[in-house]
């Protein structure tokens, strides 16, 4: 590992700033003109090319790995005019890539090499190239691609992250391409995506009886029922949860239960959230804005209209809360 890290450090010192700037500008033009970044290589260099294609795609620059063998049998069709091509080769003499270059050029693409030999055929035929050479592989036979592939990946990764910074790619931009990851879910999922619609929830009034409350809590099976305004029926004025019911049973004598009304049981003016808020904001409301965490949030639309319920259970299922 120390030998490979030393090889990366040496490669970093050799990089030509002007060449790197030109490549970053080409990457930016590729993005702005909605062109593709094509990466290609053979063997272990092909695996590096696949990895870098995945990295660039994940940060917002459409990238594709092109197998040079398949390219001669139809896959050249993925290359369009002004696409940017990165060729990865440790020897700089990979015959499949050398044979491919004229066809890429005929397609109007620009070639960039990430090469282990700067005095090589691919270097001479590339528009730009970066020096990815290493003194030796860390393999005891100095044969298996080890330090060379690590340096190539490091150079590609460096281009990707510096381009991200140059382009101003944000956490939200990144999350849009990673919706299944924790960050992606936090920055893309909204309350409206996870809430339970009010369509199946019958409203109660402030004068609804104790038994009507129990009946609706049981029927709805989501742990709460909502209380409507007497004058604006879609407006929420209170919420009754299973916890509210248990506290009422404890507070009032058994003999008085049948005389209880929703108004005496409900939580008045409960904390609410709008459907366009991010789901992660709902977790913060549930966990931080009360003396005791809450597990249900009424969702309120325009004109204070009740439109649904967001449950902590739904947030947990979506992978947003532990």
- pLDDT tens-place string over residues 160-184: 999 989 888 776 666 666 555 665 6
Cβ atoms of 283 and 315 closer than 8 Å: yes
Q: What is the pLDDT of residue 140?
A: 87
pLDDT band, very low/low/confident/very high, at 219 (cuts 50, 70, 90): confident
Considering 2-16, 132-146, 198-212, 305-319, the range whose residues carry the highest mean pLDDT is: 2-16
pLDDT band, very low/low/confident/very high, at 185 (cuts 50, 70, 90): low
Output helix, strand, coil percentages for the chain, rounded to the nearest 5. 50, 20, 35
Two tokens at 114?
């990430």
pLDDT band, very low/low/confident/very high, at 317 (cuts 50, 70, 90): confident
Two tokens at 187?
């920055």
C-beta atoms surrounding 267 within 10 Å:
18
Q: What is the pLDDT of residue 35?
A: 94
Q: What is the pLDDT of residue 45?
A: 96
Higher-confidence position of 269 and 95: 95
Residue with tokens 């062109």: 35
Q: Is the pLDDT of residue 51 over 80?
A: yes
CA distance 233 to 193: 25
CA distance 293 to 286: 5
Phi, psi of 129 (to 5 degrees): -150, 155
pLDDT mean over 54-72: 93
Cβ atoms of 30 and 37 closer than 8 Å: yes
Two tokens at 233?
């029926």
Phi, psi of 101 (to 5 degrees): -55, -45
Considering 87-91, 105-109, 135-139, 163-167, the range whose residues carry the highest mean pLDDT is: 87-91
Q: What is the pLDDT of residue 177?
A: 64
Cβ atoms of 108 and 82 closer than 8 Å: yes
- When mean pLDDT is compared across 78-87, 110-119, 266-275, the lowest value belongs to 266-275
Q: Is the pLDDT of residue 279 over 90?
A: no
Q: Is the pLDDT of residue 270 over 60?
A: yes
Burial of 313 (0-12, 13-18, 19+ CB in 10 A): middle
Q: What is the pLDDT of residues 280-316, one digit of tens each?
A: 888 888 877 556 778 889 999 887 789 999 988 888 8
Residue with tokens 């620059």: 61
Two tokens at 54?
């995945």
Q: pTM of this prediction?
A: 0.66
CA distance 149 to 155: 10
Q: What is the pLDDT of residue 98?
A: 97
Cβ atoms of 253 and 225 closer than 8 Å: no
Q: Is the pLDDT of residue 221 over 80?
A: no
Average pLDDT, the chain: 89
Mention every residue, 6+ apart, whose C-beta is less than 8 A from residue 139.
146
Domains recognised in the chain with CATH numbers: 2-169 (3.40.50.10490), 191-317 (3.10.580.10)
pLDDT band, very low/low/confident/very high, at 322 (cuts 50, 70, 90): low
Closest among 185, 198, 240, 247 to 217, alpha carbons compared: 240
Closest among 262, 279, 272, 268 to 304, alpha carbons compared: 272
CA distance 174 to 181: 10
């Amino acid at each position: 590992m120390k030998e490979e890290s030393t090889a990366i450090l040496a490669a970093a010192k050799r990089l030509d700033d002007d060449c790197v700037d030109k490549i970053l500008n080409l990457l930016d033009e590729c993005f702005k003109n909605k062109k593709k970044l094509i990466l290609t290589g053979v063997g272990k260099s092909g695996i590096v090319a696949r990895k870098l294609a995945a990295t660039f795609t994940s940060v917002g620059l459409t990238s594709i790995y092109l197998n040079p063998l398949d390219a001669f049998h139809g896959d050249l069709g993925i290359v369009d005019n002004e696409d940017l091509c990165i060729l990865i080769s440790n020897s700089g003499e990979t015959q499949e890539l050398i044979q491919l270059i004229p066809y890429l050029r005929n397609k109007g693409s620009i070639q960039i090499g990430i090469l282990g030999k700067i005095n090589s055929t691919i270097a001479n035929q590339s528009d730009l190239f970066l020096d990815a050479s290493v003194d030796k592989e860390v393999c005891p036979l100095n044969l298996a691609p080890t330090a060379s592939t690590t340096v190539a990946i490091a150079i590609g990764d460096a281009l990707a992250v510096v381009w991200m910074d140059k382009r101003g790619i944000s956490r939200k931009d990144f999350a849009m391409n990673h919706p299944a990851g924790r960050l992606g879910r936090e920055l893309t999922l909204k309350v409206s995506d996870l809430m339970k619609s009010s369509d199946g929830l019958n409203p109660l009034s402030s004068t609804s009886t104790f038994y009507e409350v129990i009946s609706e809590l049981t029927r709805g099976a989501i742990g709460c029922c909502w209380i409507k305004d007497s004058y604006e029926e879609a407006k929420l004025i209170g919420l009754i949860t299973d916890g509210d019911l248990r506290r009422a049973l404890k507070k009032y004598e058994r003999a008085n239960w049948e005389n209880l009304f929703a108004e005496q049981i409900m939580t008045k003016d409960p904390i609410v959230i709008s459907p366009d808020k991010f789901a992660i904001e709902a977790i913060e409301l549930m966990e931080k804005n009360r003396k005791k965490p809450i597990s249900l949030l009424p969702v309120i639309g325009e004109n204070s209209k009740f439109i649904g319920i967001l449950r902590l259970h739904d947030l947990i299922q979506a992978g947003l809360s532990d």
